[in-house]
Amino acid sequence: MRVAELDPHLSVLPDAVRRTAVVFANGDVAWLNEHADAAINAIADAQRLIVGLDARTMFSDGGYTETPISAWTEAPNEGSDDAIERARGEALDALLLAKSEGTHVLLNWLKERDAIRADGCGEDVR
């Protein structure tokens, strides 16, 4: 299912991960539960910082429910590589709960590698 055109920021991800993405008109990007772990790893492998994970359930009428599951918080003096790996681990740890709460996993991440400041903090450029 694809509601909108593919986000150009997905170009840093492998084809297999891009093909399974669900892109919504508002720019949200989600994956069916069975593809979410590959998406998390691909985003982190592309050196992007995952800042949030939500469970989303889609309904046949186009509606959905969404439950926030996890949100990344900065750690003092953490470098960007360490922040990316910690965020990957936190997202993977939250995945089981997300899968139990919805049919899709919505991921939010910093779209540009340079958006992560030297202290590990960043600004979502979406």
Any residues with CB less than 8 A from the CB of 112 and at least 6 apart, and which?
Answer: 125
Q: Are 94 and 55 in contact (CB under 8 A)?
A: no
Read off the pTM. 0.84
Average model confidence (pLDDT) for the chain?
86
Confidence check: pLDDT of 4 > 50: no
Any residues with CB less than 8 A from the CB of 44 and at least 6 apart, and which?
Answer: 50, 84, 85, 87, 88, 91
Residue 7: predicted pLDDT: 65
8-110 carries CATH number 3.30.190.30: yes
Q: Work out the pLDDT band at 25, boundaries 50, 70, 90.
A: confident
Q: In the structure encoding, which two tokens stand for residue 19, read together?
A: 């093909």
The pLDDT tens digits for 59-96 are 999 889 999 999 999 888 898 999 999 999 999 999 99
**Of 52, 44, 53, whose CA–CA distance to 14 is shortest?**
44
More confident residue, 55 or 123: 55
